[in-house]
């Protein structure tokens, strides 16, 4: 039997991860979430609707910036692996309130590490981000590329989190895998993220705000492929690793909009706008290291993933489930 902590476990990625971990016999999951008001609490509660019925799952509401809360949690539970996903999310919002991002994403990560070291928990999987690569001109992005020039507070906070993790590995022999996610999407994606936002607006006949000229490219990664990678990492040994998890393919913004249009069978009204501060022109993951060390094999093409997402969107809309999403 393994007992996992998933911080931020009521979120988009976290809730899918909880389901995948609980699908394996003998596993127990403790989900920590503070239900940050960044988006409607009802959405997160809906994310957990399946796992909350399971006896091997528990939800504990609390904040990783509360060291006493974390100490009590680790003291009262034997933990094998910590997935640390809790963070303030979003590149553009981080520019408006950088201190909040540094407090949650850097100090919060240190607090989790403090509790792990104090209570002899030695395996941490930390959610980082492709944003740490900044305006990297070399593609695809490799874990060995320099990442010392982030261009948003969010990116800086995630890179700092990786460094905090390395210090803990060096000083306390904490085993850490830092996972750089590349634009994750799929069912339950946060409502303000581009794919979900565009789908909702196109469906309702509203003009979508598209930044740039449509040529920017992203490595969009379907949620099932991300979860496969995270679960694979948790099953193998590591000391200190930094890994890209992406689809290792790029899609232009204008093509992404086209896939959503086709899946909805509706035409988009597009309001083209200037590029935004903090945005990069292209992301593209080199996943060879994750494939070699952890048998990572993403297999969802973006047009297929968009079709699955839109199917989920329409089904939930039809059932009037978690109406706060729409």
**Any idea what the CATH number is for the domain that residue 133 is in?**
3.40.50.720
Interval 35-49 mean pLDDT = 93
Cα separations in angstroms, 143 against 39, 179, 267: 32, 10, 39
The verdict on residue 135 lying in a domain is yes
The verdict on residue 325 lying in a domain is no
Q: Inform me whether the pLDDT recorded for 324 exceeds 50.
A: no
- pLDDT the model gives residue 63: 97
For residues 79 and 29, what is the distance between their CA atoms, to the nearest angstrom? 9
For residues 254 and 271, what is the distance between their CA atoms, to the nearest angstrom? 12
The verdict on residue 63 lying in a domain is yes
10 confidence band (pLDDT: 50, 70, 90): very high
Share of the chain above pLDDT 70, in %: 97
Enclosing H/E stretch for 292: helix 288-294
- pLDDT the model gives residue 326: 39
Cα separations in angstroms, 145 against 142, 282, 286: 5, 15, 11
* Residue range(s) defining the domain that contains residue 59: 3-186+221-248+281-299
Q: Inform me whether the pLDDT recorded for 321 exceeds 60.
A: no
Tally the domains of the chain. Answer: 1
- pLDDT the model gives residue 318: 67
Helix (H, G, I), strand (E, B) or coil at 130: helix
Share of the chain above pLDDT 90, in %: 90
- What are the pLDDT digits (tens) for 62-118? 999 999 999 999 999 999 999 999 999 989 899 999 999 999 999 999 999 999 999
Q: Inform me whether the pLDDT recorded for 279 exceeds 80.
A: no
Q: Inform me whether the pLDDT recorded for 137 exceeds 90.
A: no
Reported for 168-174, long-range contacts at CB under 8 A and 24+ positions apart, including other chains, are: 168/113, 168/116, 168/117, 168/124, 169/239, 169/240, 172/117, 173/122, 174/113, 174/116, 174/117, 174/122, 174/124
Catalytic residues: 154
Does 256 sit behind a cis peptide bond, omega within 30 degrees of 0 on the bond before it?
Answer: no
The verdict on residue 324 lying in a domain is no
Residue among 325, 89, 109 nearest 184 (CA): 89
Q: Inform me whether the pLDDT recorded for 136 exceeds 90.
A: no
Contact between 149 and 109 (Cβ < 8 Å): no
Tokens of 168: 């803990």
Query: Strands (DSSP E) along the chain, which ranges?
Result: 3-7, 28-33, 57-61, 81-84, 123-129, 175-181, 184-185, 208-211, 217-218, 221-222, 240-245, 251-252, 270-273
The verdict on residue 232 lying in a domain is yes
Interval 25-30 mean pLDDT = 96
- pLDDT the model gives residue 317: 84
319 confidence band (pLDDT: 50, 70, 90): low
The verdict on residue 213 lying in a domain is no
Interval 249-266 mean pLDDT = 97
The verdict on residue 272 lying in a domain is no
The verdict on residue 262 lying in a domain is no
The backbone torsions φ and ψ at residue 131, rounded to the nearest 5 degrees and listed phi first, read: -65, -20
Interval 285-311 mean pLDDT = 97
């Amino acid at each position: 039997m393994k007992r996992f902590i998933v911080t931020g476990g009521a979120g988009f990625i976290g809730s899918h991860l909880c389901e995948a971990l609980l699908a394996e016999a003998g596993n127990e999951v403790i989900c920590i979430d503070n239900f940050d008001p960044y988006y409607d609490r009802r959405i997160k509660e809906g994310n957990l609707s399946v796992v909350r019925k399971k006896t091997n799952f528990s939800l504990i509401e609390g904040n990783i910036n509360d060291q006493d809360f974390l100490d009590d949690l680790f003291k009262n539970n034997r933990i094998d692996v910590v997935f640390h996903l809790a963070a303030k999310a979003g590149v553009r919002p981080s520019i408006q309130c950088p201190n909040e991002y540094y407090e949650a994403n850097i100090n919060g990560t240190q607090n989790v590490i403090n509790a792990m070291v104090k209570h002899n928990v030695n395996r941490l999987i930390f959610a980082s981000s492709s944003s740490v690569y900044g305006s990297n001109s070399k593609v695809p992005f490799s874990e060995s590329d320099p990442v010392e020039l982030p261009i948003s507070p969010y990116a800086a906070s995630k890179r700092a989190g990786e460094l905090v993790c390395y210090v803990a590995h060096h000083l306390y022999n904490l085993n850490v895998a830092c996972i750089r996610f590349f634009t994750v999407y799929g069912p339950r994606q946060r409502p303000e993220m581009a794919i979900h936002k565009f789908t909702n607006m196109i469906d309702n006949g509203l003009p979508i705000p598209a930044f740039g000229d449509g040529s920017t490219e992203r490595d969009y990664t379907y949620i099932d492929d991300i979860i496969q990678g995270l679960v694979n990492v948790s099953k193998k040994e590591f000391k200190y690793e930094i890994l890209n998890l992406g689809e290792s393919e790029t899609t232009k913004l204008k093509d992404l909009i086209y896939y959503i249009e086709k899946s909805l069978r509706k035409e988009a009204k597009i309001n083209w706008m200037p590029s935004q501060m903090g945005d990069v022109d292209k992301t593209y993951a080199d996943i060879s290291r994750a494939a070699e060390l952890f048998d990572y094999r993403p297999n969802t093409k973006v047009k297929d993933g968009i079709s699955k997402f839109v199917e989920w969107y329409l089904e939930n809309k039809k059932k009037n489930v978690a109406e706060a999403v729409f």
